[in-house]
Chains A and B, each alone.
Chain A
Amino acid sequence: MIAAQAGRAESGTVAKTLYDKLVDAHTVRRLDADGRQVLLYIDRTVLNEYTSPQAFTGLREAGRPLWRPKAALGTVDHVNSTASARTARMPDEEAQRQAVYFAENCRDFGIELFDVLHPQQGIEHVVMPEIGLVLPGLVIAAGDSHTTTYGAFGTLGFGIGTSDIEHYLATQTLVYQRLKSLRVTVSGRLGPGVRAKDIVMALIRDIGASGATGSAVEFAGEAISALSMEGRMTLCNMAVECGARGALIAPDETVFAYLKDRPRAPKGELWDLAVSRWRELASDADAVFDREVRIDAGAIAPMVTWGTSPDQAAPIGGQVPDPAREADPDRRRDMERALAYMGLSPGTALEEIAIQRAFIGSCTNARIEDLRDAASVVRGHTVAPGVRAMVVPGSSAVKRQAEEEGLDRIFADAGFEWRQSGCSMCLAMNDDVLGAGERCASSTNRNFEGRQGTGGRTHLMSPAMVAAAALAGRICDPRPYLGAE
């Protein structure tokens, strides 16, 4: 029996975590004796053009229909251009073939598609919540690791590979192994100018890039309750970078207020019924987690990565660490390799690191609140000479809203490129790439070798910090720019 089931509520029933409740409510049948492996019903998915084609080919070859076409949405996001003039053409022939085959598959299998010219097009994990398809209590699996984003709504979201996309499409289920439970309690309040991105980067630094592997994380505590939906999505999105296969926050009034009147959210009596049920979605007070981690929000400073793994990070006042001080030989070798790739010397102050590129975008940090925050830094300043700075809104709807608020002018006047929506230089599958040796301040989620371009050097940070770095021409503390010294 797992520890989470060991606690007993006063009523005599087994105390459960929110994660257990979601898995139990979606279990079609047990696949082994102790119920560790189950056939799990999946409510919805979102599909993209690059991880789905082989799944559709598999269905076509086997002559299998979709189980529930209305439970899938397609959006083109990974390979499209983000140039300001939008056309249906992809940046290269291979990307074009993926987009065409994706459109064919959506048409032939009856799936709604937001293609690159659609007014709702955008990054899948920005689009799904903003149109109201991510609702508390759901299980959503999708062919992208950052599906954990949906935990912000009290939805169990997790990434799957292409074989499991095919399995989902044909059966509406997945063969699912129950995870261990990890609760991360973030107490106290964030200091001025410190963001959700800094919480999750501090967590990853503390527990390591595999610190939550095999676990579903539940975030709790005063600092989490105080976060906006955008902040919660950033947090749950990046939980996968410490290995979490699900990241949950119990839904509250902040969630309900965000969802009310979204186009695809329930309306009228169904809304009232749904909210009454959503209020019950929380871990029992005496539920036992397999592991607990506690973080003091007040102790978190703006974070930045110095290496090639998301856990190779430090607060902005810090320095590039010295591998010679690392006792573990394997870790020392990994650090040396990371510093060689990044072109950094031990002891260098992080604030002395000059950049050539600045990127605000991605499913982690390109929602409207992120753009407002970055614009508040940029307003009235100009990008440093020699820095190329880009803003890629998370969705076409975010782009329109930002333009209504005049944020595009603030960025453009400062010298930022104001672009169309897509995954863009987060993973550089389109034509937005770093050159070899170029160093980028980036609001994205992965600083892996070559992630943003072969030989490109990525420093992860919050969008406000990217904006500050673009102005300063080097990595710097965003707090003075935010009036938060």
Chain B
Amino acid sequence: MQPFTRVEGIAAPLPAANVDTDVLMPKQFLKGVDRSGLKEGTFAALRYGPDGAPRADFVLNREPWRAASFLVVGENFGCGSSREHAVWGLSQNGIRALIGTSFAGIFFDNCARNGLLAITLPQEDVAALSARASDPDTCRIVIDLPNQTISAAGLSLRFEIEATRKDALVRGLDAIGTTLQARDDIAAFETAYLKGNPWLA
């Protein structure tokens, strides 16, 4: 997993509420058995018209946001289906972080498992960032995860993140390898648990 430390890049505004994972990755892109080929699927119905041509009115089709590294998003981003393809697609499009007021739970976890930083901020901070992201002159921002800060034109914000989630993102940890270091604890727990609940053994 790619570590996340200090990243500078372009932020794009996507203020709609309840952007669901069907919109993030439509069903026709879910038919693979690997993680490849999802770049084109991200926001496909918003990015491309029925004829396959890019829609000029979609922010990620326009300069300078075509090269965005961050999205400033609306409430309840990533709701709906558990499909991790939504996160894989964002990463394949070069998106490193999302900033919004709230994220759906499964999506939020999926982001963390793939090194995609999801930052939750109060409404007024998201609005201030969204305003800067909307202007080509101010849309470049810096996210510093070790110091938990976001810097934009005339704006410096601090964000909160759970210590364990932060540590995994900063170090790009392999979660399974880390957990398996506790394999003896798991085995001991399981033995006692199944003994106490013998109908599950």
- In Å, the complex CA distance between A245 and B105 comes to 7
- In Å, the complex CA distance between A98 and B114 comes to 23
Interface residue B26 (Cβ < 8 Å from any Cβ of A): yes
A143 to chain B, nearest CB (A): 6
- In Å, the complex CA distance between A37 and B163 comes to 10
User: A279-320, CB under 8 A of B: which get 1 and which 0?
Assistant: 000000000000000000000000000000101000000000
- The segment from B2-10, B73-81, B138-146 that touches chain A is B73-81
**Which chain B residue has the least Cβ–Cβ distance from A430?**
B27
**Across the interface, which residues of B come within 8 angstroms of A333, CB to CB?**
16
User: B151-190, CB under 8 A of A: which get 1 and which 0?
Assistant: 0000000000011100000000001100110110110011
**Across the interface, which residues of A come within 8 angstroms of B179, CB to CB?**
39, 167, 170-171, 173, 175
**Across the interface, which residues of A come within 8 angstroms of B26, CB to CB?**
450, 454
Cβ–Cβ contact B22 & A448, under 8 A: yes
**Across the interface, which residues of B come within 8 angstroms of A144, CB to CB?**
81-82
B20 to chain A, nearest CB (A): 5
- In Å, the complex CA distance between A159 and B75 comes to 20
Cβ–Cβ contact B113 & A161, under 8 A: yes
- In Å, the complex CA distance between A330 and B179 comes to 42
Cβ–Cβ contact A54 & B105, under 8 A: no
Interface residue A177 (Cβ < 8 Å from any Cβ of B): yes
Cβ–Cβ contact A95 & B31, under 8 A: yes
User: A20-37, CB under 8 A of B: which get 1 and which 0?
Assistant: 000000101101100011
Given contacts A161-B110, A164-B113, A449-B23, contact A32 B176 (CB under 8 A): no
Cβ–Cβ contact A143 & B82, under 8 A: yes
Cβ–Cβ contact B180 & A170, under 8 A: yes
Cβ–Cβ contact A428 & B27, under 8 A: yes
Cβ–Cβ contact A32 & B82, under 8 A: no
Interface residue A50 (Cβ < 8 Å from any Cβ of B): yes
Cβ–Cβ contact A54 & B190, under 8 A: no
- In Å, the complex CA distance between A68 and B191 comes to 12
Cβ–Cβ contact B175 & A161, under 8 A: no
Interface residue B45 (Cβ < 8 Å from any Cβ of A): yes
A78 to chain B, nearest CB (A): 8
Residue among A64, A79, A163, A446 making CB contact with B175, cutoff 8 Å: A163
Residue among A36, A41, A334, A450 making CB contact with B23, cutoff 8 Å: A450
Cβ–Cβ contact A145 & B81, under 8 A: yes
**Across the interface, which residues of B come within 8 angstroms of A67, CB to CB?**
186
Interface residue A109 (Cβ < 8 Å from any Cβ of B): no
- In Å, the complex CA distance between A336 and B32 comes to 35
Residue among B15, B45, B82 making CB contact with A160, cutoff 8 Å: B82
Residue among B22, B175, B182 making CB contact with A29, cutoff 8 Å: B182
Interface residue A404 (Cβ < 8 Å from any Cβ of B): no
Tell me the B115-160 residues at the A interface (CB within 8 Å).
none
Cβ–Cβ contact B83 & A210, under 8 A: no
**Across the interface, which residues of A come within 8 angstroms of B74, CB to CB?**
330
Cβ–Cβ contact A57 & B104, under 8 A: no
Cβ–Cβ contact A429 & B30, under 8 A: yes
Tell me the A45-81 residues at the B interface (CB within 8 Å).
50-51, 53-54, 57, 62, 64, 67-68, 79
Cβ–Cβ contact A160 & B109, under 8 A: yes
**Across the interface, which residues of A come within 8 angstroms of B79, CB to CB?**
209-210, 243
Cβ–Cβ contact A309 & B18, under 8 A: yes
- In Å, the complex CA distance between A179 and B198 comes to 28
Cβ–Cβ contact B20 & A446, under 8 A: yes
A180 to chain B, nearest CB (A): 11
Cβ–Cβ contact B114 & A163, under 8 A: yes
Cβ–Cβ contact A449 & B45, under 8 A: yes
Cβ–Cβ contact A448 & B23, under 8 A: yes
A172 to chain B, nearest CB (A): 6
B160 to chain A, nearest CB (A): 13
Interface residue A166 (Cβ < 8 Å from any Cβ of B): yes
Given contacts A51-B83, A161-B87, A448-B20, contact A94 B31 (CB under 8 A): yes
- In Å, the complex CA distance between A310 and B164 comes to 33
- In Å, the complex CA distance between A243 and B25 comes to 19
User: A413-433, CB under 8 A of B: which get 1 and which 0?
Assistant: 000000000000001110000
Residue among A94, A143, A177, A243 making CB contact with B32, cutoff 8 Å: A94
- In Å, the complex CA distance between A98 and B18 comes to 29
Cβ–Cβ contact B190 & A41, under 8 A: yes
Interface residue A451 (Cβ < 8 Å from any Cβ of B): yes
Cβ–Cβ contact A62 & B182, under 8 A: no
Residue among A54, A101, A171 making CB contact with B180, cutoff 8 Å: A171
Residue among B31, B87, B175, B199 making CB contact with A98, cutoff 8 Å: B31
23 A–B contact pairs at CB < 8 A? Answer: A57-B34, A62-B176, A97-B31, A97-B33, A158-B105, A161-B84, A161-B110, A162-B110, A163-B175, A164-B110, A175-B164, A210-B102, A213-B102, A214-B102, A243-B105, A245-B106, A429-B27, A446-B22, A446-B81, A448-B80, A450-B22, A450-B26, A450-B45
Going nearest first, the 4 A-B pairs with the smallest beta carbon separation are A94-B31, A210-B76, A161-B84, A163-B113
Q: Interface on B for A, CB 8 Å cutoff? A: 15-18, 20, 22-23, 26-27, 30-35, 45, 74-76, 79-84, 87, 102-106, 109-110, 113-114, 162-164, 175-176, 179-180, 182-183, 185-186, 189-190, 193, 197-200
Given contacts A28-B189, A167-B176, 9 further A-B contacts (CB under 8 A): A39-B185, A144-B82, A158-B106, A163-B114, A166-B176, A173-B186, A213-B103, A245-B105, A448-B80
Q: Interface on A for B, CB 8 Å cutoff? A: 26, 28-29, 31-32, 36-37, 39, 41, 43, 50-51, 53-54, 57, 62, 64, 67-68, 79, 92, 94-95, 97-98, 101, 135, 137-138, 143-145, 158-164, 166-167, 170-173, 175, 177, 179, 209-210, 213-214, 243, 245, 266, 270-271, 273-274, 277, 309, 311, 330-331, 333-334, 337, 427-429, 446, 448-451, 454
